[in-house]
Amino acid sequence: MSQKQTLSFQAEVAQLLHLVTHSLYSNKEIFLRELISNASDACDKLRFEALHQPGLYEDAPNLEVRVSFDPDARTLTIADNGIGLSQQEAIDNLGTIAKSGTREFMARLSGDQKADAQLIGQFGVGFYSGFIAADRITVESRRAGLKPEEGVRWVSAGAGDFEVEAITRAQRGTSVTLHLREDASEYLSTWKLKSIIAKYSDHIQLPILMRKEEWKEGEEGKPGEHVLSDEWETVNQATALWTRTKKDVTPEQYKEFYQSISHDYEDPLAWSHNRVEGSTEYTQLLYIPSHAPFDLWNREKAAGVKLYVKRVFIMDEAEALLPAYLRFVKGVIDSADLPLNVSRELLQESRDVKAIREGNTRRVLSMLEDLAKAEKDENASAEDKAKFAKFYAEFGAVLKEGLGEDFGNRERIAKLLRFASTQSDSVAVSLADYKARMKEGQEAIYYVTADTQAAAAHSPQLEIFRKKGIEVLYLTDRVDEWALNYLHEYEGTPLQSVAKGQVDLGKLQDEAEKKAAEEAAESFKPVLAKLKEALKDKAEDVRVTTRLVDSPACLVVTEGGMSLQLARLLKQAGQQAPQVKPVLEVNPEHPLVKKLDGSPAFHDLALILFDQALLAEGGMPEDPAGYVKRVNALLA
Ligand code: ADP
């Protein structure tokens, strides 16, 4: 590249830039955090590459970031001596967004500035946030290891395009110069910059340097003023926060550190900071966020834990450090034992990593247990009491994946589950609460699965339970069906779907009821035989039930069979689901069912009965038009 080239931004970048400049006004100053964080990443990368290629340090082994400004030119410059950018890297990295989930993220933007600003924050606007404060940005860089003539200058006004040209640059690394907007003059102040750095970047391991300011007395009666000297001073603590002892770190500092690693504006719900000793030694700093990221449901998505080895940054998103069902956790692990050149593949196999993952898992579960405990603790503050419910609303469904994923901790996870039920509109019933309320003679924990709480509450299968005052849990998360497959019992009490198998209320039914039911079944036999014949293509079986009170019929599946709800979910997800033929259960006491006997429209009535049971359960008749026709014929 010899001449200046003008290139266009990738469409997503142009869109993001527009958003950045229009919706991040309320939190303008974060651009400095983002640019310092990039500078620090660039130094981390250099340190990492130099493990194999010490020559990359050239003659400047001390990595640092310098922040300076020029009030006359109205510029602010963030310079690092990290890995730098080659010409091609400048074009690729500052002209496109390589991050996974970009399209998904763009699709989530609503146009509502406040909501979008939150999302943008989570996504991490990084470099482009510079345009909040600048109407033009100049980047000059040279990649470590390249010749001085192979430097690059990148300039853009943050609209549709940018310019790049080759330059000669003696020092390696990158300097980012912001040409400040009219309304961004506040950043031309040592005091202001220092206070932002203290707030967001104190924990950055590298020294951040600024020019010392000196007081110059005014001459001949003129007032004195602050002037910038040629001397540089370090303005941050420059120690990694997790290496300090707990008592030296304030809650504010923990929260700020969280915000800097998570791009989250809100405070975390909880954190835990520990030095773990024993066969594997590591420092662990883990956070539970207070709200879910936009891509929580992407199981392949980056886990939020960064890996360091002896303070050297190794990788972001080290998924081997936590199981997938805890992918919402953010934090840092600093290992004393892993080799510095550890790769993702090696991580998967390492015994140390396995021990760290187990340690992290136990730690997160105990943080959650503490939140759950605070919920019931009379002495806890209102804020602390509310935390577990908040956590559960955001991440409960992900946590449930753990039932199938982490057998060793299944009991602990089960204790953390919460449900709505026939006795609680809010998702607040634990399995322990349920057990404590079980009726005398009740032998199982009953639940019903449905798409929504309303559908669950109206489910015909639970009529008899309601009548008898037996609590039934509502399972309305998509993951419930799958997850509950792995939880057969809770502390010795089996879990039982009210839509599977025959209802056997066992000791909960009195003798008279049992007898009446048997008699009804006996006298209904001839009709039942005809029903079976009429529905033989649709229903596995037709039988009389005692589980219905107000409804004429309902569908259930055989014990151990796949539920209709799960079969539907699989089908919607485009997966192969086995053909499930349900059992139709009828209520011989219901007027509609009584009408069947001797009716000339028997066949149509039988089909209506079946299709209605299917509808009530959230399904769709095979032939909706035919169903409507048959019902209309009856109505007319
Ligand atoms: P992110 O840092 O999240 O990847 P950014 O938009 O902040 O996204 O930066 C895009 C890319 O530009 C970075 O991944 C990095 O490759 C490059 N980059 C940004 N700042 C620097 C810098 N100071 N030195 C070297 N490379 C940088």
Q: What is the torsional sign of CA 526, 621, 467, 471?
A: positive
The sheet carrying 419-421 orders its strands as 424-429, 419-421, 472-475, 445-449, 493-497, 489-490
pLDDT at residue 302 greater than cutoff 60: no
Q: What are phi and psi of 105, to 5 degrees?
A: -60, -45
Q: Which of 189, 182, 174, 96 is nearest to 139 (CA)?
A: 174
d(CA 584, CA 564): 12
Output the average pLDDT for the chain: 88
Q: What is the DSSP letter of 500?
A: B
Q: Give 27 Cα–ligand 1 centroid separation in angstroms.
A: 21
Q: Give 93 Cα–ligand 1 centroid separation in angstroms.
A: 6
Summarize pLDDT for 266-284 with one digit per residue, the tens. Answer: 899 999 999 999 889 999 9
Q: Give 120 Cα–ligand 1 centroid separation in angstroms.
A: 16
The rounded Cα 337 to chain-centroid distance in angstroms is: 30
Q: What is the DSSP letter of 557?
A: B
Please choose from 93, 94, 156, 174 the residue to mutate so as to test ligand 1's pocket, defined by most ligand atoms within 8 A of CB: 93
Query: Mean per-residue pLDDT for 38-62?
Result: 91
Q: Give 546 Cα–ligand 1 centroid separation in angstroms.
A: 66
Q: Give 425 Cα–ligand 1 centroid separation in angstroms.
A: 47
What is the pTM (predicted TM-score) of this model?
0.73
Token representation of residue 408 = 């060793």
Q: Give 296 Cα–ligand 1 centroid separation in angstroms.
A: 24
- 31 C-beta closer than 6 A to ligand 1: no
- 82 C-beta closer than 6 A to ligand 1: yes
Question: Which is more confidently placed, 107 or 168?
Answer: 168
Q: Give 510 Cα–ligand 1 centroid separation in angstroms.
A: 72
Burial group, residue 89, by CB count within 10 angstroms (0-12, 13-18, 19+): middle
Q: Give 38 Cα–ligand 1 centroid separation in angstroms.
A: 5
β strands within 310-353, DSSP E? 312-315, 330-335
pLDDT at residue 606 greater than cutoff 80: yes
Q: Which of 179, 186, 174, 125 is nearest to 157 (CA)?
A: 179
d(CA 543, CA 521): 8
Q: What are phi and psi of 375, to 5 degrees?
A: -55, -35
Token representation of residue 528 = 């039942």
User: Is-contact 69 75, C-beta < 8 A?
Assistant: yes
- Atom of ligand 1 at shortest range from CA of 78: 23
- 205 C-beta closer than 6 A to ligand 1: no
- 120 C-beta closer than 6 A to ligand 1: no
Query: Mean per-residue pLDDT for 151-173?
Result: 95
Q: Which of 260, 350, 222, 364 is nearest to 41 (CA)?
A: 260
Query: Mean per-residue pLDDT for 218-232?
Result: 87
Query: Mean per-residue pLDDT for 417-424?
Result: 96
> Taking the CB of residue 543, how many other CB atoms lie within 10 A of it?
16
Burial group, residue 604, by CB count within 10 angstroms (0-12, 13-18, 19+): middle
In 210-350, alpha helices (H): 251-262, 344-349
pLDDT value, residue 155: 97
The rounded Cα 139 to chain-centroid distance in angstroms is: 34
User: Is-contact 170 27, C-beta < 8 A?
Assistant: no
pLDDT at residue 68 greater than cutoff 90: yes
Percent of the chain with pLDDT over 90: 51
d(CA 452, CA 463): 17
- 94 C-beta closer than 6 A to ligand 1: yes
Summarize pLDDT for 376-411 with one digit per residue, the tens. Answer: 999 999 999 999 999 999 999 999 999 999 999 999
d(CA 466, CA 457): 10
Confidence of residue 24 (pLDDT cuts 50, 70, 90): low
pLDDT at residue 600 greater than cutoff 80: yes
- 126 C-beta closer than 6 A to ligand 1: yes
- Atom of ligand 1 at shortest range from CA of 128: 6
pLDDT at residue 296 greater than cutoff 80: no
Query: Mean per-residue pLDDT for 182-197?
Result: 93
Q: What is the DSSP letter of 148?
A: G
d(CA 616, CA 460): 7
Q: Which of 559, 569, 564, 459 is nearest to 500 (CA)?
A: 559
Give the 3-state secondary structure of 393-459: HHHHHHHHHHHHHCHHHHHHHHHHCCEEECCEEEEEECHHHHHHHCCCCCCCEEEEECCCHHHHHCC
Supply the residue whose CA is at minimum distance from atom 23 of ligand 1: 39
The sheet carrying 161-167 orders its strands as 5-8, 161-167, 151-156, 134-142, 173-180, 75-80, 65-70, 208-216, 225-234
pLDDT value, residue 172: 96
Supply the residue whose CA is at minimum distance from atom 20 of ligand 1: 38
Residues whose CB is less than 8 angstroms from the CB of residue 68 and which lie 6 or more positions away in sequence, other chains included? 76, 77, 79, 210, 211
- Atom of ligand 1 at shortest range from CA of 99: 4
Confidence of residue 33 (pLDDT cuts 50, 70, 90): confident
Highest mean pLDDT (candidates 382-396, 556-570, 596-610): 382-396
Q: Give 330 Cα–ligand 1 centroid separation in angstroms.
A: 21
Supply the residue whose CA is at minimum distance from atom 7 of ligand 1: 126
Please choose from 41, 46, 123, 154 the residue to mutate so as to test ligand 1's pocket, defined by most ligand atoms within 8 A of CB: 41
pLDDT at residue 167 greater than cutoff 80: yes
CA distances from 535 to 230, 543, 568, 605 (A): 92, 12, 21, 11
Q: Give 7 Cα–ligand 1 centroid separation in angstroms.
A: 18
Q: What is the CA radius of gyration of the chain?
A: 32
Q: Give 408 Cα–ligand 1 centroid separation in angstroms.
A: 40
591 CB-side CA count, 13 A: 0
pLDDT at residue 40 greater than cutoff 80: yes
- Atom of ligand 1 at shortest range from CA of 173: 24
CA distances from 92 to 78, 96, 612, 623 (A): 21, 6, 58, 54
Q: What amino acid occupies position 194? A: K
- Atom of ligand 1 at shortest range from CA of 124: 3
Q: Give 6 Cα–ligand 1 centroid separation in angstroms.
A: 20
Supply the residue whose CA is at minimum distance from atom 17 of ligand 1: 93
> Taking the CB of residue 609, how many other CB atoms lie within 10 A of it?
22
Q: Give 556 Cα–ligand 1 centroid separation in angstroms.
A: 56
pLDDT value, residue 460: 87
Supply the residue whose CA is at minimum distance from atom 8 of ligand 1: 126
pLDDT value, residue 99: 65
Highest mean pLDDT (candidates 221-225, 302-306, 414-418, 448-452): 414-418
Please choose from 32, 38, 86, 178 the residue to mutate so as to test ligand 1's pocket, defined by most ligand atoms within 8 A of CB: 38
**Kindly report the CA angle at 72 between 70 and 74, in degrees rounded to 5?**
60
d(CA 24, CA 587): 61
Confidence of residue 211 (pLDDT cuts 50, 70, 90): very high
What is the DSSP secondary-structure string of 46-105?
A: HHHHTTT-GGGGTT--S--EEEEEETTTTEEEEEE-SS---HHHHHHHTTS---TTHHHH
Confidence of residue 222 (pLDDT cuts 50, 70, 90): confident
Summarize pLDDT for 110-146 with one digit per residue, the tens. Answer: 667 666 666 665 666 789 889 989 999 999 999 999 9
d(CA 615, CA 216): 83
d(CA 324, CA 408): 15
Q: What amino acid occupies position 245? A: T
Q: What amino acid occupies position 58? A: E
User: Is-contact 208 64, C-beta < 8 A?
Assistant: yes
Please choose from 30, 89, 127, 139 the residue to mutate so as to test ligand 1's pocket, defined by most ligand atoms within 8 A of CB: 127
- 130 C-beta closer than 6 A to ligand 1: no
Supply the residue whose CA is at minimum distance from atom 19 of ligand 1: 38
- 93 C-beta closer than 6 A to ligand 1: yes
- 174 C-beta closer than 6 A to ligand 1: yes
Q: Give 96 Cα–ligand 1 centroid separation in angstroms.
A: 11
pLDDT value, residue 504: 66
